[in-house]
Amino acid sequence: MGESRRFPSGFAWGVATASYQIEGGVGEGGRGESIWDRFSHTEGNVLAGQTGDVACDHFHRYPEDVALMADLGVTHYRFSLAWPRLQPDGTGGLNPRGADFYSKLVDELLEAGITPWVTLYHWDLPQALEDRGGWPERDTAHRFADYAEKAHAALSDRVRHWTTLNEPWCSAFLGYAEGRHAPGRQDHPAALRAAHHLMLGHGQAVAAMREGDPDAEFGITLNLFPVDPGTDGDADADLARRIDALMNRQWLDPLLRGQYPADLIDDLAPVSDLDHLLDGDLKTINQPLDFLGVNYYFRHVVSVGEQPRGWRAGDPPSPWPGSSDMTPVSRGLPTTAMGWEVDPDGLGEVLRRLHREYGPLPLYITENGIACPDEVGEDGAVHDADRVDYLRQHFRIAHQAIADGVDLRGYFVWSLLDNFEWALGYSKRFGIVHCDYDTQRRTVKDSGHWFRRSAAANAVEI
């Protein structure tokens, strides 16, 4: 490699996945039904009626996938546990066959010299708990803490990094407000209750896990965005403040400062009196964090306007309670296959803001990546130049943030493999490894080779 920027020694070169997106094997090993099984099997929810029934068949192919990671020089692997594999109906003792699957996966990783980085909840709530009201019910937070404590006990001799939730904003607002994600409810007050109970579940889970294991590291992953007004006017400035409150500060402030933002509570008054917020909850949520995981994809530029149409027939409700006037503004930048504008500077802004306003705090980029079209060529290679460019630009920004003093310790690329992209099914490919869904054959893309060279050098080219 030519001139390059080196990362601090010990920097984590990671890749990330999530259980429902890759595992398949949904009816095996005593696994219970999750809200994503129910949702994807209900017509009209997922593009082309696709489901995670098979996905990348990782449930059967995990040894091959771990070998692939070792070949790519991956140092850390972020994956999630499927709650209904471990507690099929969301309660009680662990299902031994589910625990055995994750135990073997962890052993395989450790033998390959890869650090396992576990996420407890990446959106596959046991359907039985949704049938009892799901995240809008306070009891779900208690159930989550119970599950976390038991899962931790089963793996803590080998897993030292624990993330409670992945992107609670998506769980609460795509799941219960907009309904684009499971469980597909469209109820703004319920979504606000879900948001609080996700936070409460996080706090209770960290407290329970840390009690017997004070030396492990506990954190959470948030999807964070810079939010900019679309115009210079006061209305757009106020909208940007409201969206920043819902998207970023709604999570950061209770986690790291022990309070909800006062402006957010005012903004939400027309939607909810927040009577689900009980004395002592904020203290529970405000557990010390050993790290914060940041998922970064794009920047929100927002203008007051009509809510644009969603991807399915009819206008789905806005995922922004109290701010349904939010309209995204395009700046004409190049976009990914998701339609998301490529904006590496936004990553630097997020990292520096966290350092300045909430730090000092060890940070990890727990997801960043790009969907772009790519296919296996006749030469057996997958040329994904857009992804290589994208990753190079974002890693450079991460390097710059470290030079600016941000305590960034690692970077997990989303994703190891092409996989089930939620409501968009298999139509969007995020992997640095191609997955042929007919044959389950894996092919390392050019971006995977780029990752291997960069991880080996602990550096990216300038």
CA distance 225 to 460: 24
Q: In this complex, which beta carbon is closest to ligand PNW, that of residue 398 or of residue 459?
A: 398
Report CA 392 to chain centroid distance, whole Å.
21
How many residues are present in the chain? Answer: 462
- Token reading at 193: 């209750």
| Window of 112-120, 141-149, 165-173, 199-207 that interacts with ligand PNW by CB under 6 A | 165-173
Of 223, 284, 443, 454, which one interacts with ligand PNW (CB under 6 A)?
223
| Window of 25-33, 166-174, 259-267, 284-292 that interacts with ligand PNW by CB under 6 A | 166-174
Smallest Cα–Cα separation from 57: which of 441, 458, 461? 441
Q: In this complex, which beta carbon is closest to ligand PNW, that of residue 207 or of residue 338?
A: 338
* Residue 33 among the catalytic residues: no
Residue located via tokens 């398949």: 24
Q: Could you give the count of Cα atoms lying within 13 Å of 314 in the half-sphere of its Cβ? A: 7
Which residues make beta-bridge pairs with 414? 16
List the interface residues with ligand PNW, window 286-315 (CB under 6 A). 295, 297
374 part of the interface to ligand PNW, by CB under 6 A? no
Residues 6+ apart with CB under 8 A from 24: 52, 53, 54, 55, 56, 57, 58, 59, 60
Report the relative pairing of strands 363-367 and 300-304 from DSSP bridges: unpaired
117 part of the interface to ligand PNW, by CB under 6 A? no
167 part of the interface to ligand PNW, by CB under 6 A? yes
- Token reading at 157: 């001799």
Give backbone dihedrals phi and psi of 325, rounded to 5 degrees, phi first. Answer: -80, 0
**Smallest distance, ligand PNW to C-beta of residue 178, A:** 9
Site mask for ligand PNW (CB under 6 A), range 176-215, x = bound: ----------------------------------------
**Smallest distance, ligand PNW to C-beta of residue 430, A:** 6
Quote the radius of gyration of the chain (alpha carbons, Å).
21
Of 166, 171, 204, 323, which one interacts with ligand PNW (CB under 6 A)?
166
Report the relative pairing of strands 76-80 and 12-16 from DSSP bridges: parallel
List the interface residues with ligand PNW, window 412-441 (CB under 6 A). 414, 421, 430
170 part of the interface to ligand PNW, by CB under 6 A? yes
Report the relative pairing of strands 326-328 and 227-229 from DSSP bridges: unpaired
| Cβ atoms of residues 313 and 230 within 8 Å | no
| Window of 35-43, 164-172, 208-216, 442-450 that interacts with ligand PNW by CB under 6 A | 164-172
Interface residues with ligand PNW (CB under 6 A) are 18, 21, 166-167, 170, 223, 295, 297, 367, 414, 421, 430
- Give me the active site residues, please: 367
